[in-house]
Each structure stands twice: as structure tokens, then as C-alpha cells.
DNA sequence: GCCAACGTTGGC
DNA sequence: GCCAACGTTGGC
């Protein structure tokens, strides 16, 4: 299993939206590196830190799980969509996405300051200066650390049993 | 709203 | 294939 961090602006689509929807297609990614992660590396069951960007505060707002992979992002073909890509065609799609499933919403957002206060997390992609990727991998040790410190209901568990994964 | 960082585009 | 110009991201 792999771990990911995926960014969304809560004004556009928040963890509350995902709670209501239960599932969502992660459409609109128009960055090749981010696309390649979704296309080549994500597997069903991978866990996702749902990150609110451009928010008050910005940070990790909840947890999701990859439920379908290697889907063609249909918005690239829709000339009415803000994600329309005139260089893509149904016979040669450029952009792919995954579907994610809601798992939980945190009682409070784990802010960037929260994360930076822990030396074990200093290497996290999302904390690096100038990083702009909207989909990025999270190391196992980083995910476990975050899980133990902020997500696990008992804070004493060291596995993911409570999530029924 | 500012602006640093970084990805993409396109002329050459 | 270089690289300047431009657009976007996203914290602040």
C-alpha cells in the first residue's frame, strides 16, 4: 500500500463535500507529474491525506482512500469545462484521474505549523519550499507518524485497524 | 493582493 | 534543444 497527499481548495471541493458525496473523481489535474502519480503509481486501497490548500488554515483535513484508478478524465473533452484541453481527443486522452472514497474528517485541520513542529515530518513534500504538486506521495513513516499523532481515535494504536481497511 | 517558485510554451 | 516570457500555485 502507498500513501498520498492530495490538495483541494475547500472553496472548490472540501472534505465536507467528500463526506456528502462519499466518492469523487479527482478530475482537473493538469500537471504531468501529478498525473503520472495517479496513472502509474496509485492502487485501489491506497490511503490519501486530504489537504485543504488556499484555506484558513491550510492543512490536512481528513482521510480518504483510492477506490478506482486509471480513469480517463472526461473534463478534458468538454469545451465548456474550465479543464478543457483542446489538445486532447477521445482517441488520445492526455489526462487521467482516480476516484477517492471518504474515510474520515478530522476534528481540526492539521496545519502546516502543526506538521513543521515535528522533526520527523520535516522532509514531507508538502512542507518543502516552492512545492506545488497537487498530488504527491507520502512516505510510510510519515503517514504512520501523522496517523498516530492526529488521526488514530485512541492515539495508542499503531496500525490502521480502526479504519477497516 | 503580493510574490517566489516552478511548469509550460513557443520562437529561434 | 535552449531559454525568455508567461501562467499558475499557494502560503502569507
Distance A120 CA to B1 C1' (A): 34
Burial class of A54 by CB neighbour count within 10 A (0 to 12, 13 to 18, 19+): exposed
Nucleotides of B under 7 A from a protein CB: 4-8
pLDDT at A153: 74
Nucleic strand B within 7 A of Cβ A78: no
- The pLDDT, as a whole number, for residue A95 is 95
Residue nearest to nucleotide C8 (CA to C1'): A132
Among chain A residues 19-48, those with CB within 7 Å of any atom of strand C: 30
Going residue by residue through chain A (165 aa), what tens digit of pLDDT does each one get? Answer: 999 999 999 999 999 999 999 999 999 999 999 999 999 999 999 999 999 999 999 999 999 999 999 999 999 999 889 999 999 999 999 999 999 999 999 999 999 999 999 999 999 999 999 999 999 999 999 999 999 999 987 654 444 555 555
Name the β-bridge partners of A99: A25, A68
pLDDT at position A156 is: 45
Residue A37's pLDDT is 96
Distance A134 CA to B1 C1' (A): 23
Task: Supply the pTM of this predicted model.
Answer: 0.92
Query: Taking Cα atoms as reference points, which of A162, A136, A156, A129 lies closest to residue A51?
Result: A136
- For strand C, the positions having any atom within 7 A of a protein Cβ are 8-12
Amino acid at each position: 500500500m502507498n500513501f498520498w497527499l492530495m490538495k483541494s481548495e475547500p472553496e472548490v471541493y472540501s472534505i465536507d463535500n467528500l463526506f456528502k458525496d462519499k466518492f469523487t473523481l479527482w478530475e482537473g489535474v493538469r500537471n504531468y507529474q501529478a498525473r503520472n502519480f495517479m496513472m502509474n503509481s496509485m492502487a485501489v486501497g491506497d490511503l490519501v491525506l486530504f489537504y485543504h490548500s488556499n484555506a484558513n488554515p491550510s492543512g490536512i483535513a481528513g482521510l480518504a482512500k483510492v477506490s478506482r484508478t486509471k480513469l480517463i478524465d472526461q473534463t478534458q473533452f468538454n469545451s465548456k469545462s474550465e479543464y478543457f484541453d483542446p489538445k486532447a481527443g477521445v482517441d488520445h486522452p492526455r489526462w487521467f484521474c482516480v476516484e477517492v472514497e471518504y474515510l474520515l474528517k478530522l476534528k481540526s485541520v492539521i496545519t502546516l505549523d502543526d506538521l513543521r513542529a515535528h522533526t520527523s515530518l520535516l522532509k514531507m513534500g508538502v512542507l518543502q519550499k516552492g512545492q506545488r504538486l497537487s498530488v504527491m506521495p507520502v512516505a510510510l513513516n510519515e503517514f504512520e507518524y501523522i496517523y498516530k499523532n492526529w488521526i488514530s481515535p485512541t492515539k495508542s494504536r499503531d496500525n490502521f485497524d480502526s479504519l477497516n481497511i
